[in-house]
């Protein structure tokens, strides 16, 4: 009989900073035999991988990167060679992390999988800007969305989710290039031009950048960034009277 298949952990790395990974996530990195990590994982976090073989499987918007099908196959292959496999994913694996595709591939191969959640970037950005996403009497609903689509569903790229105009606070992941189109759709749906907007680039990292603007400003587009961009929109994003 062959050796038993290893176990795969889909671990959320959090928004960027190495010390924002969960205690369980850090412990698994220290114990892992192999770690397959995203492009947005910083070198300081990889230092937590004490004995693991490291495999880069990063995907970056607009850049040449490894196809998801190849990542899936690598995970299956690693389960035949290693006992403890960590797939380290930016943010939280279950939110815009393509976890479904990896889970399907691993389950089809009979490989045991466990999910270790991470701090998703929207929550980290709210903390970094000291800007709650909900506010009593102002905002009681939040929607997370992205304009990024699967290659076989290009028709979804310019389609705003139908609930967006009615949601109090909107958070657009990977929003750098698509933010202007989002603003135009919201203005057309009746949102006011001076609606507060907060943009966070490289959330929680040393090169983090925070920009405050309005929905009308956003409709003119954002300058090209140097890292992942999160766009938060809504009345709850208004700057407080004594806020620095």
* Pairing, β 113-116 against β 53-56: unpaired
Tell me the pLDDT band of 1, cut-offs 50, 70 and 90.
very low
Instruction: Clarify whether residues 149 and 215 are in a common domain.
Output: yes
Q: Determine, yes or no, domain membership for 2.
A: no
Q: Determine, yes or no, domain membership for 243.
A: no
- For 208, the enclosing helix (H) or strand (E) is none
Q: Determine, yes or no, domain membership for 1.
A: no
Instruction: Clarify whether residues 30 and 135 are in a common domain.
Output: no
What DSSP string describes 32-92? -SEEEE-TT--HHHHTT-SS-EEEE----TTS----HHHHHHHHHHHHTT-SEEEEEESB-
Q: Give the C-alpha distances (Å, rounded to integers) separating 118 from 18, 130, 151, 179, 193.
A: 12, 20, 26, 25, 34
Predicted confidence at residue 244, as pLDDT, reads: 86
Residue of 7, 33, 53, 59 with catalytic role: 59
Q: What is the pLDDT of residues 30-62, one digit of tens each?
A: 999 999 999 989 999 999 999 999 999 976 555
Q: Which domain holds residue 194?
A: 121-237
Tell me the pLDDT band of 64, cut-offs 50, 70 and 90.
low
Instruction: Clarify whether residues 111 and 125 are in a common domain.
Output: no
Kindly report whether the global pTM for this prediction surpasses the value 0.85.
Answer: yes
Coil, strand, or helix at residue 121?
helix
Q: Determine, yes or no, domain membership for 98.
A: yes
Indicate the residue among 116, 144, 162 that finishes a domain.
116
> Within a 10 A sphere around the Cβ of 147, how many other Cβ atoms?
18
Mean pLDDT of 230-236: 97
CB neighbours of 136 closer than 8 A, spacing ≥ 6? Answer: none
Phi/psi of residue 50, each to 5°?
Answer: -60, -45
| Residues in the chain, total | 244
Residue 219 has pLDDT above 50, yes or no: yes
Instruction: Clarify whether residues 128 and 232 are in a common domain.
Output: yes
Q: Determine, yes or no, domain membership for 242.
A: no
Number of domains in the chain: 2
Instruction: Clarify whether residues 76 and 21 are in a common domain.
Output: yes
User: Is 130 known to be catalytic?
Assistant: no
Predicted confidence at residue 226, as pLDDT, reads: 86
Predicted confidence at residue 155, as pLDDT, reads: 54
User: Is 168 known to be catalytic?
Assistant: no
Q: Determine, yes or no, domain membership for 244.
A: no
Instruction: Clarify whether residues 109 and 66 are in a common domain.
Output: yes
Instruction: Clarify whether residues 104 and 62 are in a common domain.
Output: yes
CATH number of residue 177's parent domain: 3.30.950.10
Mean pLDDT of 121-130: 98
């Amino acid at each position: 009989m062959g050796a038993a298949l290893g176990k795969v952990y889909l671990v959320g790395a959090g928004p960027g900073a190495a010390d924002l990974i969960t205690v369980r996530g850090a412990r698994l990195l220290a114990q892992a035999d192999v770690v397959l990590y995203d492009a947005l994982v910083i070198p300081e976090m990889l230092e937590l991988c004490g004995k693991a073989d490291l495999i880069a499987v990063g995907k970056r918007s607009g850049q040449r990167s490894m196809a998801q099908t190849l990542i899936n196959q690598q995970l299956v292959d690693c389960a035949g060679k290693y006992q403890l496999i960590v797939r380290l994913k930016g943010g939280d694996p279950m939110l815009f992390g393509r976890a479904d595709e990896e889970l399907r591939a691993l389950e089809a191969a009979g490989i045991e999988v466990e999910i270790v959640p991470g701090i998703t970037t929207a929550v980290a950005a709210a903390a970094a800007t000291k800007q709650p996403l909900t506010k009593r009497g102002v905002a009681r609903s939040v929607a997370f969305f992205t304009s990024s689509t699967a290659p076989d569903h290009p028709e979804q790229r310019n389609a705003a989710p139908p609930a967006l105009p009615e949601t109090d606070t909107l958070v657009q992941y990977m929003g750098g290039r698509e933010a202007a189109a989002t603003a135009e759709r919201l203005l057309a749906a009746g949102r006011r031009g001076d609606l507060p907007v907060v943009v966070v680039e490289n959330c929680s990292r040393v090169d983090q950048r925070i920009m405050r603007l309005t929905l009308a400003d956003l409709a003119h587009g954002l300058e090209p960034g140097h890292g992942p961009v999160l766009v938060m929109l809504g009345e709850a994003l208004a700057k407080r009277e004594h806020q620095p």
